[in-house]
């Protein structure tokens, strides 16, 4: 029976980064993954394949739309969807092999199969051929991630009615795609197919898109998407969906009351969120009971059962790959007797559409609800020289700072490349920085990042370029 310091169940960003850190710290570690490939949802059917399609579809839209013409580039592109899907698969395969190499490099045992806990310190791994191996360990880290949340009354067949995984591999460009859910996943995948030629209608239960995001940013982003051709049915409750060989009929009714409606499409994407994945994990053998959402509670990654830890989507906090990664590192450092910590107030979120949406820290809605006195600095990309010269002027940057101390409380943006730019604000916030710290830091010109600086200047009312 193999003996380990740590056995990690789940090979996603939380699990594989935890394994790497454990190897670096000299712990004997094994990682258990049932997919046959490391990387979890993120690398295999989430972050990475969606970004591959987002990038490809952006280039296609630039070539077929007015963008190339404006730049004096005249082409007649033809969509080769099978090749677009093939390059996506190639990229994903390279990434998963890269993670497997990192396991070898850091002396991590990669055990293929579905892991389940069978009492304290024991993980049984069932391989594809049905054989079972028992791993004995001092510590078990649960990093099993999440799965798409089903919608009552709607059966996902991943043919006509698809989840996020199915939407990554549609066999054709839909004439009409209905997206149920106006969150990050729905808007990203909807934008892929919109750029490739589909009509896209977003049906959302709430009266706004991107719930939890700063309201001003979300509203501005919705206007941009509408300008791009998106249609929205907000405040709408889906009542059912009927699929046929040629399409889907989706029924919904206004949440506020009113007549029921039916719309037809070639495909329906259900993207109403994700839920923790704990199926067959054997939690009951160690006395762990998830809450009604399936979430496993934690106290500094401890489950309450000695030697059993939990990180990532399967526990509290935002379901983000980089959050899981930070938790994996901190959890292992605690196991190794070091100090492990995650600052949950500074976890950025990004919507990788075009333009992007990026956010970190508290929103204006949060600050108003808490009664915190704050100042705002805003700067539009219309006034940013690089954005203007590149014809990408939609959006703005907003920085929120404490009215008394000037400490940065949050930053929210919609615009070109803001997903990369938000990291600057994260660093400033991690060091307790003030808006003036960013405002007085020299930024290269001409870059989009100057919009961050100008917004920071705006907190004290001395924006210079707008």
Non-local CB neighbours of 171 within 8 Å, separated by 6+ positions: none
Provide the 10 A C-beta neighbour count for residue 136: 12
- At 413 the three-state DSSP class reads strand
Copy the structure tokens of residue 62. 């630039």
Closest CA to 209 of 200, 161, 291: 200
Cα separation, 326 vs 10, whole angstroms: 15
> Which residue is catalytic, options 300, 341, 391, 445?
445
Residue 365: cis peptide before it, omega within 30 degrees of 0: no
Tell me the DSSP string of 20-76: HHHHHTT--EEEEESSSSSSHHHHHHSHHHHHHHHHHHHHHHHHHSHHHHHTT----
Contact assessment for residue 270 and residue 148, using Cβ atoms and an 8 Å cutoff: yes
- At 135 the three-state DSSP class reads strand
Cα separation, 320 vs 312, whole angstroms: 8
Cα separation, 140 vs 293, whole angstroms: 22
Copy the structure tokens of residue 408. 């940065």
Closest CA to 235 of 182, 313, 314, 186: 182
Copy the structure tokens of residue 117. 């806990």
Is 445 catalytic? The answer is yes
Cα separation, 417 vs 355, whole angstroms: 7
Parallel, antiparallel, or unpaired: how do β-strands 108-112 and 29-33 relate?
Answer: parallel
Which residues sit opposite 249 in a β-bridge?
A: 242, 264
Cα separation, 204 vs 21, whole angstroms: 40
Catalytic residue list = 445
């Amino acid at each position: 029976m193999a003996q380990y310091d740590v056995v990690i169940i789940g090979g996603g960003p939380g699990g594989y980064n935890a394994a790497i850190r454990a190897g670096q710290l000299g712990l004997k570690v094994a990682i258990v993954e049932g997919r046959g490939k490391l990387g979890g949802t993120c690398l295999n059917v989430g972050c990475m394949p969606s970004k591959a399609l987002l990038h490809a579809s952006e280039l296609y839209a630039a070539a077929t739309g007015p963008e190339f013409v404006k730049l004096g580039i005249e082409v007649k592109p033809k969509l080769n969807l099978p090749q677009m899907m093939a390059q996506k698969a190639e990229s994903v395969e390279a990434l998963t092999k890269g993670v497997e190499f990192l396991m070898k490099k850091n002396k991590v045992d990669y055990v293929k199969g579905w892991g389940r806990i069978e009492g304290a310190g024991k993980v049984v791994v069932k391989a594809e051929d049905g054989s079972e191996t028992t791993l004995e360990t001092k510590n078990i880290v649960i990093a099993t991630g999440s799965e798409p949340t089903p919608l009552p009354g709607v059966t996902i067949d991943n043919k006509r009615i698809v989840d996020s995984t199915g939407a990554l591999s549609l066999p054709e460009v839909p004439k009409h795609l209905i997206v149920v859910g106006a969150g990050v996943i729905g808007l990203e995948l909807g934008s892929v197919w919109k750029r490739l030629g589909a009509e896209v209608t977003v049906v959302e239960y709430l009266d706004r898109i991107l719930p939890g995001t700063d309201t001003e940013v979300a509203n501005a982003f919705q206007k941009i998407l509408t300008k791009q051709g998106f249609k929205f049915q907000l405040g709408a409750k889906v009542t059912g969906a009927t699929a046929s060989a040629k399409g889907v009929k989706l029924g919904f009714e206004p949440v506020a009351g009113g007549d029921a409606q039916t719309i037809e499409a070639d495909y329906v994407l259900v993207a109403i969120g994700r839920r923790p994945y704990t199926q067959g994990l054997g939690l009951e053998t160690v006395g762990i009971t998830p809450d009604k959402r399936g979430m496993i509670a934690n106290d500094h990654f401890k489950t309450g059962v000695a030697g059993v830890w939990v990180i990532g989507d399967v526990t509290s906090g935002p379901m983000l790959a980089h959050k899981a990664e930070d938790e994996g590192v901190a959890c292992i450092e605690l196991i190794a007797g070091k100090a492990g910590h995650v600052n949950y107030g500074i976890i950025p979120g990004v919507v990788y559409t075009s333009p992007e949406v990026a956010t970190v820290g508290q929103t204006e809605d949060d600050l108003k609800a808490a009664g915190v006195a704050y100042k705002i600095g805003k700067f539009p990309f219309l006034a940013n020289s690089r954005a203007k010269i590149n014809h990408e002027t939609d959006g703005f940057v907003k920085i929120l700072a404490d009215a008394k101390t000037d400490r940065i409380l949050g930053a929210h943006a919609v615009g070109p490349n803001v997903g990369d730019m938000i990291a600057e604000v994260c660093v400033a916030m991690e060091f307790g920085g003030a808006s003036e710290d960013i405002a007085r830091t020299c930024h290269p010109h001409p870059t989009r990042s100057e919009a961050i600086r100008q917004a920071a200047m705006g907190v004290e009312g001395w924006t210079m370029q707008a």
